[in-house]
Each structure stands twice: as C-alpha cells, then as structure tokens.
Amino acid sequence: MQTVRVEVVGEGERELRLDDGATYGDLLAELSFSPHEAAVLVDGTPVPEDDDVDAGRVRILRLVKGGASTGDAVADRIRVRPATADDHLDVMRIVDGAVLDADATAVRARIGAGSVLVATVDGSVVGALVRDGDRITAVATRRRWRDRGVGTALVSRAAEDRDRLVAEFDPGVRPFYESLGVDVVETEAADDRLRGEF
C-alpha cells in the first residue's frame, strides 16, 4: 500500500491509501471522479490516467467545474446547452474568430441534428463545440473568455453521453487536451495535427 496526499483544487486536501501498482485512474475512482470530469496533475503537469501512481503528492483539477481557477467565479456561471438555430451566427463568429475551418451550412445542419453545444455566461454565448458523430470538428471560445474553463466545460459535456469522443487538433492546443487527461498521439497528416481520444 502507498499513501498519496491529494489536493482537490478549491476543495481541500486528504490522504489516500492505494494498492501498489494503482494507476492515476484508480486514484480518481477512489475520489468518485471519472477521467472526463477531473485531471491529475503532478508538479503542475497532467499525467495519463493509465500511468502508475509514482508521486506522493498530486493535485486534482475538477474539469466539469470549469478548469483552473481564475479568481472570479466564472466556472459557477458557465452553462452548456445544445445550440439552437438562433445560435448559428454566434457559433460561426466564435469558430471563425478562432481561425477554425467550418462550413456555415454544415454547422447549421449539425445544430439541427443536436451535434453543437454552446457555453453561455450570464446568457451570452461565449464558446461553442461542433461534433460530427464521435468526432469533435471544432471547439472554440471567444478571446476574452479563453483560459477560464469554457472549453473544458464544453468538452466535458460533449463526453458525458458518449462512449467515445475523438479530436484532431493543432500542436498549439495540445496543453488544453492534455489537461483533460487525453492521450495525445501524432497523426500521419502532413500538417502535424495531433489526435486525442476520450
């Protein structure tokens, strides 16, 4: 057995006794968290859930509460819901503002199919996620709302009712996906895109 000191960010600390050979996924399970709603950080860096626990102290970041704390209680104000036809323009502005490739007609069809989520803060749309089956085709946040848990809330909600969720993305957003506990692998694409599976 090993003892690990665990800090759940914003909720305090406790000690856990784990079997030798336990993984970080086992540690999350002991706390009644799934990998979709929390990430384990060792020395500030996310670790894969299938790695063996080899640290005496870890931090748990609750993703469904909006990611890292920004000190202004934004996480408690984020609401995620399916997009409606009235959200189409906001979704396109957000996706275009993030310089993501998305066809307006295809996005409108995905909204109609229930495959687009929007994140709101105080009723204003601040982020969007577009899905095609099990594949995230776009996830973006308005610039002033970046790094405040909006993207995390969108991806966490998208993963809630799916057995599998896949995303391909540019290397620049790799830290975001790693913070979600996703195993990132290189693709054979010529543009150096990466792939992660939830």
Query: Is the separation of the CB atoms in 40 and 182 below 8 Å?
Result: no
CATH number at 103 reads 3.40.630.30
Put residue 43 in one of left, alpha, beta given phi > 0 → left and psi -120 to 50 → alpha: left
**Side by side, which strands form the sheet with 194-197?**
78-82, 116-121, 124-132, 135-141, 166-169, 194-197, 183-186
Q: Quote the domain boundaries for residue 113.
A: 75-197
The count of structural domains within the chain is: 2
* DSSP per residue, 122-138: TTEEEEEEEEETTEEEE
Asked whether residue 125 falls in the same domain as residue 169, the answer is: yes
Q: Tell which of 14, 33, 65 closes a domain.
A: 65
Asked whether residue 82 falls in the same domain as residue 59, the answer is: no
Asked whether residue 43 falls in the same domain as residue 83, the answer is: no
Query: Is the separation of the CB atoms in 169 and 138 below 8 Å?
Result: no
Q: What is the pLDDT along the chain (198 residues), one digit of tens a residue?
A: 889 999 987 777 889 899 888 998 888 888 877 776 778 888 878 888 888 999 999 988 876 544 444 444 567 789 999 999 999 999 999 998 887 888 999 999 999 999 999 999 988 999 999 999 999 999 999 988 888 889 989 998 998 877 888 888 888 888 888 888 788 888 776 667 888 887
Whether residue 70 is contained in a domain is answered as no
**pLDDT value at residue 66:** 41
Asked whether residue 55 falls in the same domain as residue 103, the answer is: no
